A and B are shown apart, each in its own frame.
Chain A
Amino acid sequence: MNSWYFSHLTLIQGMLISVPLALSVQIALRSGVFSFASIGFYGVGAYGTGILTMRGWPVLPAMLLMIVVSGLVAYLMSAPLIRLRGLYLGMVTFAFDLILTVVATNGGELTGGALGLLGVPLGIGTGGLLAAALVAILAVSQLERRAVGRALVGIKASEELVMSVGVDLKSRKRTVFAISAALGALSGSLYVLTFSTVQPTSAGFTLIITTLTMAVIGGTSSWIGAVIGTVIITWLPTLAATIGEYQHLVYGVVLVLVVMYAPEGVLGALRWLWRRLAPRLRPARPPALVPSGGPPPDRGAAARAEPVPADRVKG
């Protein structure tokens, strides 16, 4: 166990660092906010924490400062962004991330140019990473459980419906945007404190795709999906040595297949299985409670089936 732990330490660390980032994309997608902005804030967190700690700041204040600043900046930025339709928001935030990589490349001595930051003091152990990942999971899962989170599910199903019952959609979406950015900054900070280096391309195109794959493969309906996706994407390449070179090809194929056949991800597939198996595993109910003719109605499935509002049926 011990030798396995040490030989896989980098993967374990990478996985724990990815958890908040995957959550940041999942929480946004779950609320119908198709945003990649958290990847940009991952870069902000990594560079910010790196620069501050290299100038003698203690680790925790530097991290917290970057997380809070990212959340605030994202909240301010979100005002014009959240009125955009999904696809356009996606592309704008895509552009935002890539502009940041150009800025980092041109940052001169502060950001180290194309080479990035080198020699950031190591400031966190695996225990710290685990704690941070758990805090992120706890925060997101609590958010999902409360009324805020339930309203956010509604946003995805039908924005009009949610607004009609008096939910302030705009402020909810802006909050999600800010939390997503804070999670991204947290992940970036963890990265730079663990691996002591960051390059402009670290928060670029590849990271966007990898993180999106994690969230989508796992399933965006709950934090569990993001965690499942992170575990799968981290360990998939180690399962077969041959995957190594073709890693991104496998990701690509898997992503396409998931979108085509299981848009709810692994989590959706598991839930589907559970719905099919659960009635058989449960002890039979007294016949009096069953409506005559036919098996007991599957209330769970009916409740979960997404309603299609009449005005959305036609494209």
Chain B
Amino acid sequence: MTQQMINGAVLCAVYVLFSLGLTLSWGALDVLNLAHGALMMFSAFTAYVVTQHVDLPLGLLFVIGVGTAGVCTLLLDVIVFRHIRAKVTDKRQAELLTLIAGVGAAGIPVTLAVAYTHDSPFGIGHLDWSAYRLGDNAQISTIQIAIILLGAALCTALALWVSRSRTGRALRAVAYDGETAELMGVNTRALSAVTMLIAGSLAGLAGMLLVIYLGALTPGSGEPFMLKGFAIIILGSVGSVWGTAIGAVVLAATETAVISQTSGTWVDAISFAIILLVILLRPQGVVGKGLAERV
């Protein structure tokens, strides 16, 4: 039981990091970036390719992996999403085109990884972490502790940034009404660039932590994360940092419980079921107030 709670907490922290990036860009910029999952995988993949050629310390690998995902997301926004936002005035149409472009863009890193690894798992080593015993039949390793702490710390930092800082306030203004915010002197271009960079870096961090924790990822690892991330952010209300944390806890807890009770083949259905139920019954999510303009 203790062991399962630890596993659940680690899963939850990775989910939080991954989903925060997704909810940030969607909440503020109306960009549901469907390449987010693929770029998470791509960060670990880039680090893997680097380790094939040079021997670098883990810290540097993290910088490379996280940076790759951040910069790729930024480029995707600057080259593609911004173009769509500028060209298409109808908000709904722009959202759909963004979604389709994201699906297309996701194919690029996945194909590269498949071609390089011949569609087999890849890892970056660093698997020997000291573990501490907790009670009779549970243990926690340093990497697990690090993941849980990082998830909690970054979630808190992001919540404070959005709610307290000047930039965070500008971000909320843009989310509420981009045009008016721009008239009030908010530099929306710079702000969207920063947001996408942070969003992508969070995906990259999730990918790096995951590849070290699990030992290996596959080129297709990003795909299920994309839908889990989506389930988490709509459960927790789009754009809400704390809502995302709640969504991640719910999904991680349910999944861990199902894995421990069944053979595990039903696990993926949980996030899909959450998506169906939440969108149909409470589209504004658990912390959302009032009527969402989703229907």
A-B contact sample (13 more), CB < 8 A, given A87-B99, A88-B294, A315-B94 = A84-B283, A85-B295, A87-B96, A92-B276, A95-B227, A95-B231, A96-B276, A114-B265, A212-B100, A249-B111, A249-B112, A255-B104, A256-B101
CA–CA, A102 and B107, complex, Å: 23
Q: Is B24 an interface residue (CB 8 A)?
A: no
Q: Is the CB of A106 within 8 A of B115?
A: no
Q: Is the CB of A252 within 8 A of B275?
A: no
Q: Is the CB of B101 within 8 A of A255?
A: yes
Known interface pairs A83-B295, A102-B265, A315-B91. Does A91 touch B275 (Cβ–Cβ under 8 Å)?
yes
Contact flags (1/0) for A239-256 with B, using CB distance below 8 Å?
000000111110111111
Contact flags (1/0) for B205-237 with A, using CB distance below 8 Å?
000000000000000000100010011001000
Q: Tell me, rounded to whole Å, the shortest Cβ–Cβ distance linking A41 to chain B.
A: 16
Which of A55-63, A131-139, A306-314 is the interface stretch? A306-314
Contact flags (1/0) for B46-72 with A, using CB distance below 8 Å?
000000000000000000000000000
Q: Is the CB of B293 within 8 A of A102?
A: no
A-B contact pairs, 19 of them (CB 8 A): A80-B280, A88-B279, A91-B230, A91-B234, A95-B272, A102-B265, A102-B266, A102-B268, A102-B269, A103-B269, A106-B265, A212-B100, A249-B111, A252-B105, A252-B106, A253-B104, A253-B108, A259-B101, A315-B94
Using a CB–CB distance below 8 Å, which chain B residues touch chain A? 32, 80, 83-84, 87-92, 94-97, 99-101, 103-108, 110-112, 114-115, 178-179, 223, 227, 230-231, 234, 265-266, 268-269, 271-273, 275-276, 279-280, 283, 293-295
Q: Is the CB of A87 within 8 A of B89?
A: no
CA–CA, A247 and B95, complex, Å: 26
Using a CB–CB distance below 8 Å, which chain A residues touch chain B? 34, 80-81, 83-88, 90-92, 94-96, 98-99, 102-103, 105-106, 114, 205, 209, 212-213, 216, 245-249, 251-256, 259-260, 263, 308, 312-315
List B contacts of A98 (CB < 8 A): 227, 268, 272
Q: Is the CB of B97 within 8 A of A263?
A: yes
Q: Is the CB of B107 within 8 A of A216?
A: no
Number of A-B residue pairs with CB-CB distance less than 8 Å in the complex they form:
128
Q: Is the CB of A99 within 8 A of B276?
A: yes
Closest 7 CB pairs of A and B: A252-B107, A255-B104, A249-B111, A95-B275, A95-B272, A102-B269, A315-B91
Known interface pairs A84-B279, A314-B179. Does A90 touch B99 (Cβ–Cβ under 8 Å)?
yes
Q: Is the CB of B101 within 8 A of A105?
A: no
Known interface pairs A106-B265, A259-B97. Does A254 touch B104 (Cβ–Cβ under 8 Å)?
yes
CA–CA, A260 and B84, complex, Å: 6
